[in-house]
Structure 1
Amino acid sequence: MKLNSIGLDADKSLSISKDLNILLANFQRYYQNLRGIHWNIKGKRFFDLHVKFEELYNDANLKVDMVAERILTLGGVPLHTFEDYISNSKVPVGKNVSEDESAIRLIVDSLKELLVIERKILASSDDAHDEGTNSMMSDFITEQEKVLWMMKAWLGEAI
């Protein structure tokens, strides 16, 4: 087995970096959705939701950077074009979403997709003894599960 410069199996690290690129593409779409609903939200809940969506897109922006830097740490190259993001993401596109329930539903549906990808990466990073990626995914999952619970509560739905 060939080790990379951080002492991990080089082949497993490159495989994980490919999965992280899928996560990166999906996070970029999620981020853009959050920007769109932040800008376009209307109605009586505008003030509360406008602030919440800004909080979420700032967090997503930080996570995008963390994922890209982890890809580089593992020896990969982060995707960085809209073409790559479009062709590698499953997060739904939220175009012209301005109604509160539709905006929250978009967040719920997006987080569900992100969690599936993150759990896959969590399993493969555990297998590769890649604590850096594993810890990051664990933190992301914990935070996003809470946001998902809150959004579902806002919708009046059970988790």
Structure 2
Amino acid sequence: MKINSIGLNPEKSQELAVNLNNLLANFQQYYLNLRGIHWNITGKRFFNLHEKFEELYVDANTKVDEIAERILTLGGTPLHTFEDYTKSSKVPVGKNVTKDEDAIQLIVESLTQLLKIERKIFELTEEAADVGTNSMMSDFITEQEKTVWMMKAWLTEKI
């Protein structure tokens, strides 16, 4: 069996790079959503949410870089234009979101979509024996599941 310089099957590496590019496009939309709600949030919870949204977009920006670097490691080329991102993204677009509950719901919906993509990639990594991408997806999934739980708990808050 032919292997590449990192010990993986080149065809499986290419398939993973394609799927990671899909994840990258969706993460970029998620990141843009987070920036938008960070800037535009209003109301009595502004200070707490403004800070939380910044925490989330900084984390998303880090993950975008990690995904792009993993694509390069696998021998692919990361998508890097808004045109590519909008063609590939399934994460909902949050335009002019100013209300707290709408913002939190957008985060839950976005993470739900990202988790679907990450689980598919996770399955592909097992077939390809790609421990590096597998570990990345495992970490992303674990963290995002917790964030979804926390956001959903916030949405059921009694005032």
1:2 deviation in Å? 1.8
1:151 deviation in Å? 0.2
Q: When the two structures are superposed, what TM-score results if normalisation uses the length of structure 1?
A: 0.98
Distance 1:123 1:83 in 2: 28
- The equivalent of 2:74 in structure 1 is 74
- The equivalent of 2:136 in structure 1 is 136
Distance 1:113 1:83 in 2: 20
Distance 1:154 1:101 in 2: 9
Counterpart amino acid of 2:92?
P
1:76 deviation in Å? 0.3
How do 1:3-82 and structure 2 match up within 5 A? 3-82=3-82
Structure 2 counterpart SS, 1:105: helix
Gaps of 5+ in 1: none
Distance 2:2 2:32 in 1: 38
Structure 2 counterpart SS, 1:103: helix
Distance 1:110 1:88 in 2: 14
- The equivalent of 1:115 in structure 2 is 115
- The equivalent of 1:152 in structure 2 is 152
Distance 2:39 2:130 in 1: 38
Identity %: 73
Counterpart amino acid of 2:126?
D
Counterpart amino acid of 1:137?
M
Distance 2:112 2:71 in 1: 22
Q: When the two structures are superposed, what TM-score results if normalisation uses the length of structure 2?
A: 0.98
Counterpart amino acid of 1:109?
E
Gaps of 5+ in 2: none
Structure 2 counterpart SS, 1:119: helix
1:72 deviation in Å? 0.2
Distance 1:111 1:156 in 2: 18
List structure 1 segments (4+ residues) > 2 angstroms apart after TM superposition: none
1:70 deviation in Å? 0.1
